[in-house]
Structure 1
Amino acid sequence: MGTFKIEGGVQLKGEITPQGAKNEALQVLCTVLLTPEKVTITNIPDIIDVNKLITLLKNLGVKIEKLGHGAYTFQADEVNLAYLESEAFKEEGKSLRGSIMIVGPLLARFGKGYIPKPGGDKIGRRRLDTHFEGFINLGAKFRYNKEDYFYGVEADRLKGTYMLLDEASVTGTANIIMAAVLAEGKTTIYNAACEPYLQQLCKMLNSMGAKITGVGSNLVEIEGVEKLGGCEHRILPDMIEIGSWIGLAAMTRSEITIKNVSWDNLGIIPSTFRKLGITLERRGDDIYIPAHADGYEIQNYIDGSILTIADAPWPGFTPDLLSIVLVVATQARGSVLIHQKMFESRLFFVDRLIDMGAKIILCDPHRATVIGHDFKSQLKGIMMSSPDIRAGISLVIAALSAKGVSTIQNIDQIDRGYERIDERLRALGAKITRES
């Protein structure tokens, strides 16, 4: 396990380009299993979680060729289904939550899909019911081995149907759509997730020959087809990384330009940061953030009551950025209530911020009140550990703004979602080193 050593209190400056979107990559990489033809995907982020999925696909027999940085071709014309029942797969599959999304494509094309209970961030319960209930609605038989925590679905041929999802699960919606594109007849999914990365998945599938309508809404219709072909697809920039860089600029009072952000796919992310008093300027497809020499002030509601920032399914505010908003608020003028509705363990990292001197009241597992310092009192560098990807980057931002030296352990968690983060931060002038 590596560590980051960070000397804080340094003002940064320059340009940074966001990586390809992790959450989109985990979805679209699984589509290659739906066709025997060649699929080319570009702007794939070079991060642990995505590389694990690429390795898993390779072990399944997918032919993979690297064309350059972030660019690959995939061809699944000789898939080794026997690997799904091997001990190696049981170990490999459970280390990555995104591995659940190979089940839909495998079930649709080969009539069976298996997966061990997947891992991922320790941010509370993340149930898989939506995925498997969707497959069962399409006609699959479900089985679960409690001793091995091993899930399986099988079907001779999936059949389209109407379904109302019990939650707008992003990965659940993606998995069901990938299963339904090769099903017989029409599938209607109501209460479907509709975020930009899911829209990208649907656009990619349509370019392969699928017939999906309602893309971008919560009512998606899929007319099943006999087969899909190859395609070329480019992954969007990562909106979570973009939000992270906005928070970094504000906390370090730095002048930073974030390049090629795909503004039209950011939803309410820019306006949410503006509510914290952060100045953002649109310059073409870039975000320019000036140095906030006088700090930034949190807006209250029009009746004067305290601002609440809460997560919600898209087009609401993404839960992956709540930890960034929380750490940014520690140096704002004013107070804010952070309400993490979707996961019950994601706010527990605030004890590290409190140790650094932040004024935070953890009301319960879902809510925290932050009273900003207005830069009149700096956070102080400490030794801490990264509990998950998003909390990890929040601690990095806190350390970069803090007085003194901070050490962050368990940085593999950060590397799971952020590509070469220490190198890219050093290019902005940050004093951050990686140690083994």
Structure 2
Amino acid sequence: MATFIIEGGHQLKGSIQPQGAKNEALQILCAVLLTPETVTIHNIPDIIDVNKLISLLEKLGVKIHKIGSGSYTFKADEVNMKYLESPEFKEDGKGLRGSIMIVGPLLARFGKGYIPKPGGDKIGRRRLDTHFEGFINLGAKFRYNREDHFYGVEADRLKGAYMLLDEASVTGTANIVMAAVLAEGTTTIYNAACEPYLQQLCKMLNRMGAKISGVGSNMLRIEGVDSLGGTDHKMLPDMIEIGSWIGLAAMTKSELTIKNVSWDDLGQIPDVFRKLGITIERKGEDIYIPAHKEGYEIQSYIDGSILTVADAPWPGFTPDLLSIVLVIATQARGAVLVHQKMFESRLFFVDKLIDMGAKIILCDPHRATVIGHDFKSSLKATTMTSPDIRAGVSLLIAALSAKGSSTIHNIEQIDRGYERIDERLRAIGAKITRVN
């Protein structure tokens, strides 16, 4: 287990380049299974979760070559389907939640797909019903072995269907789309997720020969084709990392430039941070954040009531940034209610912030009220353990703002989603050391 030692209370300065998007990578990498031809992907983040998926694809028989920093070629012309029934796969597959998205492509191309109950962040219930109900709608037979928590779907040939998803699940929509592109006939998916990473997947599939319309809306129409070809694809920058760096700049009163953020794909993110009082300037495709020497003030609603920041499916505010919002609010002028609707265990890290001196009332598993210090009282350095990716980064930001030396254990959780985070933070002046 590795640990970060952080000396906080220092201003940072400079520019930082966001990594490729983790959540896009998990979808795009699974899509290479849909074709025997070469697919080239650029801007792949070098993080634990993505590297686990690349390793899983390699064990499935995909030929993978690294051609540059963050750039790989994938050729799935000799997929080893026997690996799916091996004890090794049952162990490998359950260590990564993104592994669920290999099922749709394998089902579409080879007539069967299996997966052990996947892992991931312990942030509450994250059911898989949407995925499998979609496959069943396309004509697949579903089976589940309760003894070893092993899921399977099989079909001779999938057939297009109309379906109304019970939730706008991003990974569920991605999985069903990847299955439907090779199905016979037309598939219509209503209440589909429409966030930018899913749009990226659909655009990539269309370049491979798929016929998907309605991209960017909550109704997708997919005309099945017989086969797909190869393509080149470049992934978007990670919007969650961009939001993390905005929070870091505000909490440490630092002047930072976040490079090449793809502004048009950020949705509500800049506006939500502006409501928290943070100055965000657009300079081309960069975000410039001046040093907030006088702090920042949370806006109220027009009638004077307390601001609520809540998550929602795209184009709503992403749940992955609510923990960052919560940390930022601890030093703001004013108060905010953070409402985490989608996951019931994601706010449980606030006890660590309270130990650091933050004024937070955890109302219930989904809601927390934060009363800001306005930098009149800095957070106290302490020893913490990272519970998941996003909470881990939030605690890291809190530690960088706190005076004194803080320790964060279990930083493998942070490494799952952030590429070489300590090196990149040191490059802009952070005093952070990794201890193995």
Tell me which residue corresponds to 1:382.
382
The CA deviation at 1:179 is 0.1
| Whole-angstrom distance in 1 between the partners of 2:387 and 2:346 | 9
Question: Partner residue of 1:360?
Answer: 360
Corresponding residue of 1:310: 310
Q: Tell me by how many angstroms 1:198 deviates.
A: 0.1
* 4+ long deviations beyond 2 Å: none
**Is 1:101–2:105 an aligned residue pair?**
no
1:419 aligned partner: 419
AA aligned to 2:127 is R
- 2:249 aligned residue: 249
Supply the AA of the counterpart residue of 1:174: A
User: 2: distance between equivalents of 1:367 and 1:18?
Assistant: 29
Provide the secondary structure at the position in 2 that maps to 1:121: coil
Q: Residue 14 of structure 1 aligns to a residue in which SS?
A: strand
Q: Within 5 Å, which residues of 2 pair with 1:178-217?
A: 178-217=178-217
Deviations 1:349-369 (A, max 9, x none): 000000000000000000000
Amino acid aligned to 1:377:
S
**Amino acid corresponding to residue 349 of structure 1 in structure 2:** F
**Cα offset for 1:108?**
0.0
Q: Within 5 Å, give how 1:32-51 maps onto structure 2.
A: 32-51=32-51
Q: Which runs of 5+ in 2 are unaligned?
A: none
Pairing 1:420-435 to 2, within 5 Å after superposition: 420-435=420-435
Instruction: Write the letter of the residue equivalent to 1:416.
Output: R
Q: In structure 2, the residue corresponding to 1:413 is in which secondary structure?
A: helix
The 3-state SS of whatever aligns with 1:237 is coil
**Superposed, which structure 2 residues align to 1:20-419 within 5 Å?**
20-419=20-419
Q: Write the deviation string for residues 363-412 of structure 1: whole angstroms up to 9, x where unpaired.
A: 00000000000000000000000000000000000000001110000000
CA distance in 2: counterparts of 1:105 and 1:2, whole angstroms: 36
Q: Give the TM-score, by structure 2 length.
A: 1.00
Query: RMSD value over aligned CA atoms?
Result: 0.2
Q: Distance in 1 between matches of 2:429 and 2:290?
A: 16
Alignment-mate amino acid for residue 434 of structure 2: R
**1:335: Cα distance to partner?**
0.1
Distance in 2 between residues matched to 1:49 and 1:413, nearest whole Å: 10
Please report how far the alpha carbon of residue 14 of structure 1 lies from its aligned counterpart in structure 2 after TM superposition.
0.1
**What SS class does the counterpart of residue 108 from structure 1 fall into?**
helix
> Cα deviations across residues 121-159 of structure 1 (Å, max 9, x unaligned)?
000000000000000000000000000100000000000
Matched residues in 2 for 1:351 and 1:51: separation? 32
- Secondary structure at 1:177 match in 2: helix
What is the distance in 2 between the residues matched to 1:79 and 1:193?
29
The residue type equivalent to 2:284 in the other structure is G
CA distance in 2 between partners of 1:348 and 1:403 (Å): 24
Distance 2:69 2:117 in 1: 31
Q: Distance in 2 between matches of 1:351 and 1:235?
A: 36
Q: Is the partner of 2:45 in helix, strand or coil?
A: coil
TM-score by length of 1: 1.00
- Percentage identity across paired residues of the two chains: 84
Structure 1 position 330, deviation (Å) = 0.2
Letter in 1 for 2:53: L
May I ask how many residue pairs the two structures share in their alignment? Answer: 436
